[in-house]
Amino acid sequence: MLTTMSSPETPPTDNAPTKQARNPLHGVTLEAIVVALADYFGWDELGRQIPIRCFQIDPSVGSSLKFLRKTPWAREKVESLYLFMLRDQKRNAQE
């Protein structure tokens, strides 16, 4: 006779900690990041901070997203600059 042992499933609770609870990038789309950076720095400064063509020559959110989705190293730089921007905004708000 075959018996299967199954562990009782515990329903998720609202107060259970999630793996991404402290990750400021969790739930933020790449489009929202690019728009926030362009609003905060402007395209000219963004092109100086991260010297890639999609920020320097005829910049747009669409062209940036297309490039960043295909280029992991550039996306990492954008996400890093976004985290810097969040820290800078927090610092400025505390002053």
In a domain, residue 66? The reply is yes
Within-domain flag for 38: yes
Q: Considering the domain boundaries, does residue 6 fall inside one?
A: no
Residue span of the structural domain in which 81 resides: 30-94
Residue 36 lies in a domain: yes
Q: If DSSP codes are grouped into helix, strand and coil, which group holds residue 6?
A: coil
pLDDT of residue 73: 97
Q: The domain that contains 88 carries what CATH number?
A: 1.10.720.30
Q: Is residue 22 domain-resident?
A: no
pLDDT at 95: 74
Give the model confidence (pLDDT) of 39-87 as tens digits. Answer: 999 999 999 999 999 999 999 999 999 999 999 999 999 999 999 999 9
Q: Average pLDDT for residues 9-29, to the nearest whole number?
A: 69
With respect to residue 14, please indicate whether it lies within any of the assigned structural domains.
no
Structural domain count, the chain: 1
* Residue 21 forms part of a structural domain: no
